[in-house]
Amino acid sequence: MSIAATMPTSNRGSSIPRGHADQVLRVRASGFGRRFLAATVDAIFLGAISMLVTFVTAMMLGVSLPHAKEIGPDLLVAGILDRNPMAVGALGLFAGLTILYELYGVGMAGQTLGMRLAGIRVIASRGRPPGAVRGLVRVLALPISVLPGGLGWLWALFDREHRALHDHLAGTYVILDSEA
């Protein structure tokens, strides 16, 4: 699917001559499969870092951890519901790392490690990385896409430009990297 993104209309810092504001950047939108792959790689990467930091912190504080066979999502959920400081801290660490990772990766660089491996990138309407504000809006809107059963993500399957709900809220597009 081809999408059109408007190019800068200002002459300041732009190579587009005055009077050519109607020029558009033609790119191909990423499909759902590549987006899902990128999100999975990023979640595994961030989860591994969060677990490592949590375990090192627990060892430094002398907090006993369950046996490896007991470690998993159920243990984390049970720990959060019991208000276990280590479980709540691990979730907070994962959330904080995700915000920083997405803010830098998407907002400033245009792609995360997972996106790079999947061959996709995020742009704003002018064909550039979204920037700090759009990146922050996008990462803060991710829970809106994920929490109600992933409906905001599934939106991308039916959207003409393959944009998820958080892309619409942030004004971003996910495109194939070879055309960025």
128 token code pair: 């550039």
* Burial grade of 47 (CB within 10 A; 0-12, 13-18, 19 or more): middle
If we measure between CA atoms, which residue out of 51, 166, 158, 151 comes closest to residue 102?
Answer: 166
The residue among 147 and 130 whose pLDDT is bigger is 130
Please check the confidence at residue 15 and state whether its pLDDT lies above 50: no
In a domain? residue 159 = yes
175 token code pair: 């495109």
pLDDT in tens, 24-80: 677 899 999 999 999 999 999 998 888 888 778 877 877 766 554 455 555 555 666
The residue among 99 and 53 whose pLDDT is bigger is 99
Please check the confidence at residue 14 and state whether its pLDDT lies above 50: no
Please check the confidence at residue 6 and state whether its pLDDT lies above 60: no
For residue 13, what pLDDT band results from cuts at 50, 70 and 90?
Answer: very low
pLDDT score, position 68: 46
**CA–CA separation, 86 vs 55, rounded Å?**
9
In a domain? residue 123 = yes
pLDDT in tens, 104-127: 999 999 999 999 999 999 999 888
Most confident by average pLDDT, 29-43, 141-155, 166-180: 29-43
CB 174 within 8 A of CB 120: yes
In a domain? residue 43 = yes
CB 147 within 8 A of CB 73: no
In a domain? residue 171 = yes
In a domain? residue 9 = no
In a domain? residue 163 = yes
83 token code pair: 């208000």
* Burial grade of 5 (CB within 10 A; 0-12, 13-18, 19 or more): middle
Structural domain count of the chain: 1
In a domain? residue 24 = no
**CA–CA separation, 41 vs 162, rounded Å?**
20
In a domain? residue 13 = no
Range of the domain at 57: 30-179
